[in-house]
Amino acid sequence: MQNYSIFSLARNALSHHKNWTEAWRSPDPKPEYDVVIIGGGGHGLATAFYLAKEHGISNIAVIEKGWLGGGNTGRNTTIVRSNYAIEGNAFFYEKSMDLWRGMTQELNYNVMFSPRGVINLAHSDAQIDDFQRRGNALRLNGIDAQWLSRDDLKKRVPLLNMSPDARFPITGGLEQPRAGTARHDAVAWGYARAADARGVDIIQQCEVTGLKIEGGRMTGVETSRGFIAAKKVGVAVAGHSTQIFDMAGIRLPIESHLLQAMVSEPVKPSLDTVITSGASHVYISQSDKGEMVFGGDLDFYNSFAQRGNYPTIEHVVAACCELFPTYSRLRLMRTWGGIMDMSMDGSPIIDKTTIEGLYINAGWCYGGFKATPGSGWVFAHTIAQDRPHALNECFSLDRFQTGHVLDERGAGPVAKLH
């Protein structure tokens, strides 16, 4: 792998950047691999990377029907956090957070992870209770959290609407200081490049058309580029998990829903943290390019369209203007949508399946991006050892039947409510 550094950049500048090599190869699929990962997004690529790095398995293919990171990896609002109250979630996301902290160096690719804090605004007394309960759980679990008073918030986020006459006046905020944002595309590219350097074949424009199962065991995958044999197949295709597992006859506790996101035109720095508001259902940050990045609720109907409808956009934008009245004259530049695997308890599934050698990584709801490294790390372990790691035991597929669900929102088995 060609090393990336300020020196290599300078050296290549002298040759007008003609000598940069490919960040990853574009190999044809081999007839057989030890492991095939379906899905070339952040999760699939990270899984391949950690399989190679942590488990010494490098005869791996990552197959992707479109382009690298073209699913939710490249469509999210780039927020990275681990402020979960439920234990199983808390430890898993904190592991992920640890990996974020070293990712740029580990991959030799700057993923621009910036721990600029994530603040959940409380708008009522009851929300203060609720958020402090969560903050205390975080602290006792060894995860950073701090309470911000109204005065703290005024200093920290000067453009925030702190008026006591606001429709939902802000009563305080829970911050995870070491949470923040990262450059989403770079995560896919960084993992792709590092996995490729360890011998992983990344095969784009290769769509899975069938799973080959013999006697309850995986033997390979049928693809648009021919059959690829593999005794172990990991699936990380959030948004389309149902379609892959249909091929194995496994029904999932998942519905696919549409989540929209949007950016404003770029402006000079005006928000140096991530603001989320439960009462207004909106989250806002500013990208390094200067765009304000907004997201909100689902469109609330099943969809595979990657394009949403207008009521959601109206609501998100109104909430943004309510929280930041000076943004009213900013302009919305681009909106888009992604397909979420909405699970029935709002938490992911990382597990073995009833078919030997077939592994599932799905159900990420809104929250897949922040989990990328942790998800890859535990999924690699699950595949390599053929058993879940302690950190993902709770993300089992059978928890829905046994009732051991991880329902942070307490919304029950209605996918759209998580």
Partner 1 sequence: MNNPQIPQYRLPEGGRIDRSRPLSFSFNGRAYVGYQGDTLASALLANGVHLIARSFKYHRPRGIMSAGSEEPCAMVTMRQGSRIEPNIRATQIELYEGLVANSQNCWPSVNFDLQAIINKVSRFLPSGFYYKTFKWPKFLWMSYEKVIRHAAGMGKVATLPDPDHYDHMHAYCDVLVVGGGPAGLMAAKSAAASGARVMLADEQAEFGGTLCGRAEKISNKPAMDWVARVRDELAARPDVTLLPRTVVASYYDHNMLVLNQRTGEHLPTAEGFTPRQRIWKVWAKQVVLATGAIERPLVFGNNDLPGVMLTGAVQTYISQYGVLAGKNAVIFTNNDSAYDAAAHMHDNGIKIAAIIDNRKQTSPAAQKLSDRGILIFNNHVVYQAVGSKHVRGVNISPLNENGDKLSGGNIKIDCDLLCMSGGWTPSVHLFSQARGKLRWHETLTTFIPEKSFQQERSAGSCKGVWGLSDCLKGGAKAGAEAAKAAGFTKTRALKTPAASNHDMGDIRALWRVPQPPRSQTKRFIDFQDDVATSDIELAAREGYRSVELTKRYTTLGMGTDQGKTSNINGLAVLSEELGKHIPEVGLTTFRPPYTAQTLGAISGPERGGHFAPTRRSPVHDWHVSTGASFMPAGLWMRPAYYQQPGETMWDAIYRETKHVRSHVGLVDVSSLGKIDLQGKDSAEFLNRCYINGFAKLPVGKCRYGVMLRDDGMVFDDGTVSRLAENHFMMTTTTAKAGPVLQYLEYLLDVVWPELDVHVVSATEQWCAIAVAGPKSRELLSRITDIDMSNEAFEFMGVRQGNICDVPGRIYRISFSGELAYEIGVPSDWGLHVWESLMTAGKDLKVSPYGLEAMSILRIEKGHIVGAELNGRTTADDLGFAAMISTRKPFMGQRSLRKPALLEGERKQLVGLISLDGKTPIPRGAQIVVNPDGPTPVAMLGEVTSNCYSPHVENHIGLAIVKRGRQRIDEILWATSPLTKQRVRVKLCSPHFIDPQGERLRG
Partner 2 sequence: MLIKCPWCGDRSLAEFSYQGDATIIRPSDPLSLSDNQWNEYLNLRNNPKGWHDEIWQHLNGCRKHFKARRNVVTHEIADTKPMDGSLQGGRS
Residues of the shown chain interacting with partner 2 in the complex, contacts defined by CB under 8 A: 240, 242-243, 251-256, 300-305, 309, 311, 344, 400-402, 413-416
Residue 304 partner contact from partner 1, partner 2, none using kind-dependent CB cut-offs of 5 to 8 Å: partner 2
Q: Which is nearer to partner 2, 170 or 342 (CB)?
A: 342
31 lines the binding site for partner 1 (CB under 8 A) = no
131 lines the binding site for partner 1 (CB under 8 A) = yes
Burial of 296: CB neighbours in 10 Å, binned 0-12, 13-18, 19+: buried
With contacts defined by CB under 8 A, name the span among 3-11, 46-54, 76-84, 233-241 that binds partner 1.
Answer: 3-11
Q: Nearest approach, Cβ of 338 to partner 1 (angstroms)?
A: 12
Q: Which is nearer to partner 1, 31 or 269 (CB)?
A: 269
Give the contacts of 75 (CB within 8 A, at least 6 positions apart): 184, 261, 306, 336, 337, 338
The residue within the footprint of partner 1, chosen from 30, 154, 217, 334 (CB under 8 A), is 334
* Structure token pair of residue 14: 């002298």
- C-beta separation of 51 from 142 below 8 A: no
* Structure token pair of residue 78: 């780039």
124 lines the binding site for partner 1 (CB under 8 A) = yes
407 lines the binding site for partner 1 (CB under 8 A) = yes
26 lines the binding site for partner 1 (CB under 8 A) = yes
Q: Which is nearer to partner 1, 86 or 250 (CB)?
A: 86
224 lines the binding site for partner 1 (CB under 8 A) = no
Q: Which is nearer to partner 1, 97 or 233 (CB)?
A: 97
Looking at this protein, which amino acid is placed at residue 108?
N
Q: Where are the alpha helices (DSSP H) in 2-60?
A: 6-14, 42-55
With contacts defined by CB under 8 A, name the span among 48-56, 246-254, 322-330, 381-389 that binds partner 1.
Answer: 322-330
CA–CA gap between residue 138 and residue 142 (Å, rounded)? 6
Burial of 373: CB neighbours in 10 Å, binned 0-12, 13-18, 19+: buried
76 lines the binding site for partner 1 (CB under 8 A) = no
Could you please report the per-residue DSSP string of 78-91? -EE-----SHHHHH
CA–CA gap between residue 342 and residue 337 (Å, rounded)? 14
Burial readout 307-327 (b: 16 or more C-beta within 10 A, e: otherwise): ebeeebbeebbebbbbbbeeb
Task: Tell me the three state secondary structure of residue 117.
Answer: coil
The residue within the footprint of partner 1, chosen from 264, 343, 375, 382 (CB under 8 A), is 264
The residue within the footprint of partner 1, chosen from 88, 115, 368, 388 (CB under 8 A), is 115
Residue 43 partner contact from partner 1, partner 2, none using kind-dependent CB cut-offs of 5 to 8 Å: none
- C-beta separation of 196 from 25 below 8 A: yes
251 lines the binding site for partner 1 (CB under 8 A) = no
The residue within the footprint of partner 1, chosen from 243, 326, 354, 385 (CB under 8 A), is 326
Residue 227 partner contact from partner 1, partner 2, none using kind-dependent CB cut-offs of 5 to 8 Å: none
Residue 254 partner contact from partner 2, partner 1, none using kind-dependent CB cut-offs of 5 to 8 Å: partner 2
Residue 61 partner contact from partner 2, partner 1, none using kind-dependent CB cut-offs of 5 to 8 Å: none
CA–CA gap between residue 337 and residue 317 (Å, rounded)? 15
Give the contacts of 44 (CB within 8 A, at least 6 positions apart): 37, 38, 62, 64, 234, 236, 237, 361, 376
The dihedral region occupied by 208, where left means phi > 0, alpha psi between -120 and 50, and beta the remainder, is beta
The residue within the footprint of partner 1, chosen from 88, 135, 296, 388 (CB under 8 A), is 135
39 lines the binding site for partner 1 (CB under 8 A) = no
